[in-house]
Amino acid sequence: QTEDWEHSTWKNPAWPKGGGDTVGYPSVVRNTHGPHPDGQYYLFYAHHDPRSGIGVAVSRSITGPYSKKVRVPGRSDNQVVPSFHASSKNPDDPSHNSSPWVVWNPEQRKWFMYFHFFNHGHTATTNFQPTALATCSDLAS
């Protein structure tokens, strides 16, 4: 273990800074496409916990070690898709983003990340977990 990974627990208001030893729902891709293909492996992960988002770690080898990519512009954490309710005062708020699946779309020339989310405050999705799509052309930046 080379990093302090997030806990996968029901009540962890310190996510993603709570420490721990698990990585949940991983999707690993090698960055061989886009404007800056660095050949590194990008591990996208998330837990199915309330108020959790999707993080990313990077390695030169598929077997690791992986280091969290913490330099997301404008934020101090490593979440590439943060929870919409991460600052909620309700620790039982079930809103979350999880289950990332990352693929290169050659027609669009973009990386596609499919993931599900639950936002109980949005009446159109009450009791449902919609699938969402996030895109970017460059994993390295």
Model confidence over 94-123: pLDDT tens digits? 667 778 999 999 999 999 999 887 765 555
Nearest to 106 by CA among 3, 18, 33: 33
Q: What are 9-47's pLDDT values in tens digits?
A: 555 555 555 545 556 678 999 999 999 999 999 999 887
Residue 3 domain flag: no
Domains identified in the chain, total number:
1
> In which domain, by residue range, is 67 found?
27-136
Share of the chain above pLDDT 70, in %: 57
Question: What whole-number distance in Å separates Cα of residue 55 and Cα of residue 16?
Answer: 8
Is 104 inside any structural domain? yes
Residue 46 in any domain: the answer is yes
Is the Cβ–Cβ distance between 18 and 7 less than 8 Å?
Answer: yes
64 domain-assigned = yes
